[in-house]
Amino acid sequence: MRVTANTAAVRNYHYPVTGHEFDRVMHEAANAARAVKAVTLVAAAPFIGLAYVVALPVLGLAAMAWLGLKALAARWKTGARAARNVVLFFAAPFVGLAYALALPFVGVAVMAWWGVHAAGHRLATN
């Protein structure tokens, strides 16, 4: 706390306290202000700590995302290929399921087509 700035400001207003008594009063006021500040910091410390605990994971993830985007911008071809591979890796089971569901119907359709085609050739030759 800046006691000298406060004493200069108070001395200009001609308070009834002067000389050594003035310095003693100002010293007591400064000590009281220090005590209030200490109590305030003790009361606010858990909340400040909570803010750090809550903000740290968010800020850490944001920093990791920022660094990842910078690295991706520097090597976008490699990043695009890696992203494509990851997407294909996760899409592969669904593609396989689609094939497993569709291929019996496709097989029946191909056999029907061959049958119709063979029947058409048999009628054309007779």
The pLDDT tens digits of the residues spanning 62-89 come to 999 999 889 888 888 887 888 899 999 9
Same domain, 126 and 66: no
Q: What's the pLDDT score for residue 1? A: 47
Average pLDDT, the chain: 84
Same domain, 80 and 45: no
Same domain, 6 and 34: yes
Q: What's the pLDDT score for residue 60? A: 94
Range of the domain at 124: 76-126
CB 5 within 8 A of CB 30: no
Same domain, 69 and 21: yes
User: What would the pLDDT profile of 9-50 be if each residue is shown by its tens digit?
Assistant: 555 555 566 677 777 878 888 888 888 888 888 999 999 999
Same domain, 2 and 64: yes
Is pTM beyond 0.95? Reply is no
Same domain, 3 and 45: yes
Provide the domain count of the chain: 2
User: What would the pLDDT profile of 41-56 be if each residue is shown by its tens digit?
Assistant: 899 999 999 999 999 9
